[in-house]
Amino acid sequence: MARPTPIDEEITLDPKRYIVSKTDTKGVIEYGNDYFVQISGYKESELIGQPHNIIRHPDMPRIVFKMMWDRIRNRENIFAIVKNLAKDGRYYWVVTEFETKVDPLTNEITGYTAFRKAAPKEAVKAIEPIYEKLIEIEAVGGMEASEKYLRGYLEERGVTYDEFVNDLIGNKGLFKAFFKLMKKMFG
C-alpha cells in the first residue's frame, strides 16, 4: 500500500475519545477500534494485516520508535508523544501507552496493545522542536547519533525519558487513570 504524502493539516481529536490498536509481535495490526479506523482514514480491511507503521508520520524521529520497541519487547511500559499520519495525508498527535500481551502458559510475548488519547497542545508545542532536531541529526549521523543527542538532552535536564514525557503531558494522574481504564476494557 502506498504511503500518503503528508499535508500540513491537523486532525483535531476528540479529547473524550480514545484510540486502541492491537498488533502481533512484529507490529502487524490485528485490531483497531472504531475511532482508530475513523481517524486513520483507512477502512478496517485496509488496516488489518498491515504493519502499524502504515500511520508513521515522517516527522517522527526513528529513535523514538526504537526506544518504544526496545521497552515493550522487554515488557516495560512507556508513554510517548507521537505524530501519526492519516490516509489522506493529514496528521494527528497522541499520547500513547503500551501493554505487552504475554501467554500465561508459556510466558512468551504474543502481541502488543497501544492505547492513545489526544496529546495536550502544550506537550506538542514543546516536543516538536526536539523531534525536528532529532530528525535533522538522524539525517546526518543516523539513529545512533540522535540517541546520543537525546540522552545528552535528558541528562542536561536531570530527567529520564519517562519523567520528561510525564512533565510534558501534565495531568499525569488523569492520563494514568485513563490508560488503566482502557486496559481493563481492552486488555
Task: Output the pLDDT for position 77.
Answer: 86
Residue 109 lies in a domain: yes
Q: What's the number of domains the chain is made of?
A: 1
Residue 151 lies in a domain: no
Give the residue from 126, 27, 13 showing the smallest Cα distance to 69.
Answer: 27
Task: Output the pLDDT for position 169.
Answer: 87
DSSP reduced 3-state for 9: coil
What's the pLDDT band for 3 if we cut at 50, 70, 90?
confident
Taking only the tens place, the pLDDT of each residue in 57-68 is 999 999 999 999
Dist. CA 87–CA 55, nearest whole Å: 8
| pLDDT at residue 180 greater than cutoff 70 | no
How large is the average pLDDT for residues 132-150? 97
Residue 147 lies in a domain: no
Give the residue from 46, 14, 18 showing the smallest Cα distance to 34.
Answer: 18
CATH number at residue 111: 3.30.450.20
Residue 96 lies in a domain: yes
Residue 166 lies in a domain: no
Dist. CA 134–CA 145, nearest whole Å: 9
Residue 54 lies in a domain: yes
Taking only the tens place, the pLDDT of each residue in 143-175 is 999 999 999 999 999 999 988 998 898 755 555
Dist. CA 42–CA 55, nearest whole Å: 10
How large is the average pLDDT for residues 116-124? 94
> In percent, how much of the chain has pLDDT > 90?
81
Task: Output the pLDDT for position 141.
Answer: 97
Average pLDDT, the chain: 91
Rama region for 84: left / alpha / beta (φ>0; ψ in -120 to 50; rest):
beta
* Domain range for 91: 19-119+171-186
Task: Output the pLDDT for position 99.
Answer: 87
Task: Output the pLDDT for position 170.
Answer: 79
| pLDDT at residue 24 greater than cutoff 80 | yes
Residue 66 lies in a domain: yes
Query: Do 168 and 122 form a contact (C-beta atoms < 8 A)?
Result: yes
Task: Output the pLDDT for position 83.
Answer: 98
Taking only the tens place, the pLDDT of each residue in 88-102 is 999 999 999 888 999
Residue 56 lies in a domain: yes
DSSP string, 52-118: GGGGB-TTS-HHHHHHHHHHHHTT---EEEEEEE-TTS-EEEEEEEEEEEE-TTT--EEEEEEEEEE
pTM over 0.95, yes/no: no
Task: Output the pLDDT for position 172.
Answer: 55
DSSP reduced 3-state for 39: helix
Q: Higher-confidence residue: 36 or 185?
A: 36
Residue where the block lists cell 512468551 = 108
